[in-house]
Amino acid sequence: MPSPVTFPTADAEIVAAEAALWANGYDAARLADYQAAHRRLEARIAAAGNDRRHKFVVFVPVADRPQQLAACLDSLLALCRAYGYGGMRDGRWTKVEAVIAEDSLGAGPIANDRTLAEQFTGLGLVTHHFGPDEQAALLASLDAAERAALAPVLGDTTPAYRGHKGQGVMRNLAHLYLSRWQRSEPEERLLFWSVDSDQEFAVKVATPNGDVEAVAIGYFHRFDEIFERSDALLLTGKVVGDPPVSPAVMTGNFLADLLGFLAEAAEGDPRSVCRHHDRESHREGEAAYHDMAERFGFHQTDAAYRYPCPLTGWHTEAQCFAHFAGRLNGFFYGEHPTRVSRYVHDDLWRTLQPARTVYAGNYVARPEALAHVIPFAPLRLRMSGPTLGRLLKAQLGPRFVSANLPMLHKRTMAGSTQSEFRPGVAEVDTRVDLNGEFERQFFGDVMLFAMERLTAAGYPARRPAKADFSATLDDLRDDLLADYNARRTDIVANLDKLNEMLDDPNAWWSTMAHQSALAAFRNFADNIARNFAEDATWVARVNSPQYWQVKRAELATALERHA
pLDDT of residue 3: 36
Q: Rounded to whole angstroms, how far apart are CA atoms 327 and 313?
A: 19
| Mean of pLDDT values over 467-474 | 92
Strand, helix or coil for residue 205? strand
Is the per-residue pLDDT at 7 higher than 80?
no
Q: How confident is the model at residue 282 (pLDDT cuts 50, 70, 90)?
A: very low
Q: Rounded to whole angstroms, how far apart are CA atoms 529 and 184?
A: 54
Phi, psi of 282 (to 5 degrees): 55, 50
| Mean of pLDDT values over 273-286 | 67
Q: How many CB atoms lie within 10 A of CB 375?
A: 24
pLDDT of residue 463: 84
Q: How many CB atoms lie within 10 A of CB 63?
A: 24
Q: Do 70 and 118 meet the contact criterion of CB atoms below 8 Å apart?
A: no
Is the per-residue pLDDT at 284 higher than 80?
no
Q: Which of 71, 78, 121 is nearest to 98 (CA)?
A: 121
Is the per-residue pLDDT at 214 higher than 60?
yes
What is the CATH topology of the domain spanning 12-242+343-409? Spore Coat Polysaccharide Biosynthesis Protein SpsA; Chain A (3.90.550)
- Average pLDDT over the chain reads 91
CA–CA–CA angle 118, 171, 84 (5° rounding): 50
Is the per-residue pLDDT at 281 higher than 70?
no
Q: Rounded to whole angstroms, how far apart are CA atoms 472 and 470?
A: 5
Beta bridge partner(s), residue 102: 62
pLDDT of residue 198: 93
Cα dihedral sign, 507-509-510-512: positive
Q: Rounded to whole angstroms, how far apart are CA atoms 12 and 92?
A: 28
Q: How confident is the model at residue 289 (pLDDT cuts 50, 70, 90)?
A: confident
186 vs 208, more confident: 208
Percent of the residues in the chain that have a pLDDT greater than 70, as a whole number: 93
253 vs 8, more confident: 253
ω before 354 within 30° of 0 (cis)?
A: no
| Mean of pLDDT values over 489-514 | 94
Q: What is the dihedral of CA 284, 287, 293, 297, to 10 degrees?
A: -90
Is the per-residue pLDDT at 76 higher than 60?
yes
Phi, psi of 60 (to 5 degrees): -125, 100
Percent of the residues in the chain that have a pLDDT greater than 90, as a whole number: 76
Burial bucket for residue 121 (CB in 10 Å: 0-12, 13-18, 19+): middle
pLDDT of residue 545: 96
Q: What is the pLDDT of residues 437-446, one digit of tens each?
A: 999 999 999 9
pLDDT of residue 8: 47
Is the per-residue pLDDT at 299 higher than 70?
no
Q: How confident is the model at residue 447 (pLDDT cuts 50, 70, 90)?
A: very high
Q: Do 417 and 330 meet the contact criterion of CB atoms below 8 Å apart?
A: yes
| Mean of pLDDT values over 407-432 | 76
Instruction: Indicate the domain borders of the chain.
Output: 12-242+343-409, 247-339+424-561
Q: How confident is the model at residue 210 (pLDDT cuts 50, 70, 90)?
A: confident
pLDDT of residue 314: 92
Q: How confident is the model at residue 259 (pLDDT cuts 50, 70, 90)?
A: very high
Q: Do 325 and 518 meet the contact criterion of CB atoms below 8 Å apart?
A: yes
Q: Which of 364, 433, 395 is nearest to 189 (CA)?
A: 364
Rounded to a whole number of angstroms, the CA Rg of the chain reads 24
Give the pTM: 0.93
Q: How confident is the model at residue 291 (pLDDT cuts 50, 70, 90)?
A: low
Q: What is the pLDDT of residues 102-159, one digit of tens each?
A: 999 989 999 999 999 999 999 999 999 999 999 999 999 999 999 999 999 999 999 9
Is the per-residue pLDDT at 2 higher than 60?
no
Q: How many CB atoms lie within 10 A of CB 263?
A: 12
Q: How many CB atoms lie within 10 A of CB 97?
A: 19
pLDDT of residue 294: 77
pLDDT of residue 298: 67
pLDDT of residue 424: 67
pLDDT of residue 414: 76
247 vs 354, more confident: 354
Q: How many CB atoms lie within 10 A of CB 346?
A: 11
Amino acid residing at 299: H
Q: How confident is the model at residue 5 (pLDDT cuts 50, 70, 90)?
A: very low
Q: Rounded to whole angstroms, how far apart are CA atoms 56 and 96?
A: 5
Is the per-residue pLDDT at 11 higher than 90?
no
pLDDT of residue 465: 80
Is the per-residue pLDDT at 6 higher than 70?
no
Q: How confident is the model at residue 556 (pLDDT cuts 50, 70, 90)?
A: very high
Q: What is the pLDDT of residues 52-62, one digit of tens each?
A: 999 999 999 99
Is the per-residue pLDDT at 283 higher than 90?
no
CB-based contacts of 471, cutoff 8 Å, min separation 6: none
Is the per-residue pLDDT at 366 higher than 70?
yes
CA–CA–CA angle 311, 316, 319 (5° rounding): 60
Q: Which of 246, 563, 251, 295 is nearest to 448 (CA)?
A: 295
pLDDT of residue 302: 67
44 vs 299, more confident: 44
Instruction: State in Å, rounded, how far the first CA of the chain is from the last one.
Output: 46
| Mean of pLDDT values over 18-34 | 95
Q: Which of 124, 136, 126 is nearest to 100 (CA)?
A: 126
